[in-house]
């Protein structure tokens, strides 16, 4: 495959394919395994991810790349094959999460700043040697109007960090996925989500421009515009699509080749239905696809449940969700397809 940043970015978002976010930290994957009664050992984590990476239909037809965690990008399958090589053999692109997580922003209660810039140049060089051709950095923007969250300082600090990360990635020959996630955990309505997301994206692209990041060699990983979980409001896919596309047309330059949505706590079918509705109202100047973690993996985790005898069932569940989101990325998903599975 071409090593040009622009070509890698285009491959990540093209053809209705999307990203498998398999970059859960050790703490997060333990919580997921606790739910299905599986001990979070290195071998179990490897076996689980190997199960997905060896799902031939899903990986070759529907998945463009996989976001890995530091442990996973170095792991080998049970037969000794590096997991990175399994991903590449399927025609998908290995990627890596490089941020060190969100920490409290000093002086701004309720706000966070994502850390991890120290030593990033050297870590990116190492990850490139290990096979990574894209990376991910997640900024976390919470909404709590009663506490003045997020502050302009939080938005600005996180946008600046994303831009510095992106510039370092491109210097290393790695495509940066920039992820400014406005959380859907709060009690806010869809219009508040829209306003905060707009302020965040406008600042982000100001900072990317100032950092001389080549936008054609980037991918945006944003939230959809949606009401907070605690609001008691349920937005229709059509409402989510209308607000989300209005937001992007006001903030995202057309030089960006594609947008790969995070699921942000939406359930499996909700994330698929909203992505489909967004694509149905196209055409758009960007490719609009998925970069899902739980919304791709939850069913597969439950079907697998840590048992070798459930390997085929886990792969079938993963393949189904990948297929549904592939169709949604093309605007061709129908609810009836879920019931027919």
Q: Point out the catalytic residue in the list 221, 230, 246, 334.
A: 221
Scanning the structure block, which residue is given the tokens 């947008």? 259
Phi, psi of 340 (to 5 degrees): -80, -15
CB neighbour list of residue 162: distance below 8 Å, 6 or more residues apart: 137, 139, 178, 179, 180, 204, 207, 208
- The candidate with the shortest Cα–Cα distance to 94, out of 57, 127, 132, is 132
CB 317 within 8 A of CB 299: yes
CB neighbour list of residue 255: distance below 8 Å, 6 or more residues apart: 215, 216
Instruction: Say which DSSP state 211 is in.
Output: T
Output b/e per residue, 17-33; b: 16+ Cβ within 10 A. bbbbbbbbeeeebeebb
Q: Encoding tokens for residue 318?
A: 């993963």
Torsion of CA 93, 247, 292, 102, to 10 degrees: 90
- Collapsed DSSP state (helix, strand, coil) of residue 102: strand
Angle in degrees, CA 240, 243, 246, rounded to 5: 140
Clarify whether 221 is annotated catalytic.
yes
Q: In the beta sheet, which residues pair with residue 82?
A: 76
- Collapsed DSSP state (helix, strand, coil) of residue 103: strand
- Name the residues annotated as catalytic: 221
């Amino acid at each position: 495959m071409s090593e040009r940043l622009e070509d890698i970015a285009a491959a990540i978002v093209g053809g209705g394919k999307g990203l498998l976010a398999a970059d859960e930290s050790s703490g997060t994957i333990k919580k997921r395994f606790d739910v299905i009664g599986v001990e979070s050992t290195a071998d179990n984590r490897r076996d689980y991810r190997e199960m997905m990476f060896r799902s031939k239909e899903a990986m070759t037809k529907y998945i463009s790349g996989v976001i890995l965690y530091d442990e996973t990008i170095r792991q080998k399958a049970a037969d000794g094959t590096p997991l990175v090589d399994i991903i590449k053999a399927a025609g998908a692109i290995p990627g890596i999460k490089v941020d060190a997580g969100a920490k409290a922003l000093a002086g701004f209660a309720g706000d966070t700043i994502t850390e991890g810039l120290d030593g990033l140049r050297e870590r990116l060089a190492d990850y490139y040697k290990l096979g990574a051709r894209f990376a991910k950095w997640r900024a976390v923007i919470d909404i709590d109007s009663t506490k003045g969250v997020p502050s302009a300082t939080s938005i600005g600090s996180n946008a600046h960090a994303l831009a510095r990360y992106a510039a370092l990635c491109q210097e290393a020959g790695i495509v940066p996925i920039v992820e400014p996630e406005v959380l859907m955990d709060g009690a806010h309505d869809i219009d508040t989500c829209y306003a905060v997301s707009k302020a965040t994206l406008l600042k982000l692209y100001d900072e990317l421009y100032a950092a001389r990041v080549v936008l054609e060699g980037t991918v945006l990983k944003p939230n959809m515009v949606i009401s907070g979980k605690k609001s008691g409001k349920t937005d229709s896919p059509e409402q989510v699509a209308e607000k989300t596309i209005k937001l992007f047309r006001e903030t995202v330059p057309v030089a960006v080749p594609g947008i790969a949505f995070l699921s942000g706590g939406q359930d499996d079918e909700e994330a698929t239905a909203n992505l489909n509705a967004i694509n149905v109202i196209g055409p758009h100047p960007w490719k609009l696809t998925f970069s899902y973690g739980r919304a791709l993996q939850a069913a597969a985790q439950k079907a697998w449940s840590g048992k070798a005898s459930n390997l085929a069932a886990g792969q079938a569940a993963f393949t189904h969700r990948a297929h549904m989101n592939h169709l949604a990325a093309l605007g061709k998903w129908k609810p009836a397809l879920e019931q027919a599975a």
